[in-house]
């Protein structure tokens, strides 16, 4: 949903109002709560007043997102795990569920809002008022390492390394099935899907659209109907790991866009309430853009992915 839009329909799943609407509208629950407080949510023709109110399947709803009064991101006191920080840059371990910067449908509660508070506004201005310090992004429901520039010099130096693909980036993913071969490369052009413009896709080699993308993968652990895979990126295209693994028939567990979770694992995901793609940015290395020193950072798998792997168990096949 974008600013100035109104979404309406019927509730699909009974339960808390904020949770039901977040799933239907593609907004965070915190954003839904804010809209309820503003009087911008209606249920069965009446203005909703409580985010925790219970709604029944089939109830009518409408959600209106007013145009923003001010596009500038504002500081918010939101705890964030800091891995490294100096006067030039900061490396954070972003939790799943947090959007990187304000945009349509997520105007606050983002990593940028948290960093503006933590850094007292001292972030690079190159990204503009809505994306200060942001050099790269990872998806809302992907967890892991992200570097943010505090100075313009750091921003420019990091941007050059992203552009020439000289950084070290490795992700840990849980995918469906067992990739064959267990280690390999996926490469080709990536761009918007012809069938669904909201999705990315691997394009034909002779396509004039898209950009070249390369992912090196290797299986770390064979699980029951799944595998723990390390993916190292040569390039950094939107949804690259998700699209590349799906393209070889091994979509990420829990990915709502690019694949279906193997049927034997669906009861486990429901029991664990695992509602995201099983993807974690585990390693990030680069040349410090000011000091010139090579730095490297790592992040352990978050608790929800460890719990998922333990629940799946190891394969005897």
Residues serving a catalytic function are 139
Nearest to 98 by CA among 143, 36, 146: 143
Query: With contact defined as beta carbons under 8 Å apart, do 83 and 299 qualify?
Result: yes
CA–CA dist 293, 218 (Å, integer) = 29
Q: Give the CA angle between residues 261, 265, 271 to the nearest 5°.
A: 110
CA–CA dist 273, 285 (Å, integer) = 32
CA distances from 284 to 82, 84, 174, 217, 287 (A): 14, 12, 19, 16, 11
Residue 6 β-bridge partners: 64
SS3 174: strand
Query: With contact defined as beta carbons under 8 Å apart, do 312 and 223 qualify?
Result: yes
Q: Give the CA angle between residues 197, 200, 202 to the nearest 5°.
A: 125
**Six-digit token pair at 221?**
């652990």
Max CA separation in the chain (angstroms): 61
Query: With contact defined as beta carbons under 8 Å apart, do 1 and 35 qualify?
Result: no
CA–CA dist 225, 205 (Å, integer) = 31
CA–CA dist 221, 227 (Å, integer) = 6
């Amino acid at each position: 949903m974008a600013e100035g839009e109104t979404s309406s329909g019927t509730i699909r799943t009974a339960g808390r109002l904020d949770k039901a609407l977040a799933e239907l509208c593609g907004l965070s629950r915190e954003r839904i709560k804010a809209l309820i407080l503003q009087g911008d949510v209606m249920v069965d023709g009446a203005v909703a007043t409580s985010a925790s109110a219970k709604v029944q399947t089939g109830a009518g709803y409408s959600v209106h997102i007013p145009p923003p009064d001010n596009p500038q991101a504002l500081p918010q006191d939101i705890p964030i795990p800091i891995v490294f920080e100096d006067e030039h840059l900061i490396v954070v371990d972003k939790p799943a569920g947090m959007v990187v910067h304000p945009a349509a449908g997520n105007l606050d509660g983002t990593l940028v809002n948290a960093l503006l508070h933590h850094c007292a506004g001292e972030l690079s201005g190159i990204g503009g008022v809505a994306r200060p310090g942001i050099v790269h992004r990872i998806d809302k429901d992907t967890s892991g390492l992200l570097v943010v520039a505090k100075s313009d010099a750091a921003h420019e130096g990091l941007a050059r390394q992203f552009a020439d693909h000289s950084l070290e980036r490795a992700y840990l993913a849980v995918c469906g099935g067992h990739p064959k071969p267990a280690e390999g490369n996926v490469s080709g052009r990536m761009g918007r899907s012809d069938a669904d413009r909201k999705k990315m896709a691997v394009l034909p080699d002779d396509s004039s659209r898209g950009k070249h993308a390369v992912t090196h993968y290797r299986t770390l652990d064979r699980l029951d109907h799944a595998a723990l895979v390390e993916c190292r990126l040569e390039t950094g295209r939107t949804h690259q790991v998700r699209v590349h693994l799906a393209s070889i028939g091994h979509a990420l567990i829990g990915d709502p866009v690019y694949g279906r979770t193997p049927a034997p694992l669906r009861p486990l995901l429901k029991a664990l309430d695992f509602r995201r793609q099983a993807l974690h940015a585990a390693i990030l290395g680069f040349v410090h853009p000011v000091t010139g020193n090579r730095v490297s950072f790592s992040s352990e798998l978050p608790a929800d992915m460890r719990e998922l792997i333990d629940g799946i168990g190891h394969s005897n096949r």
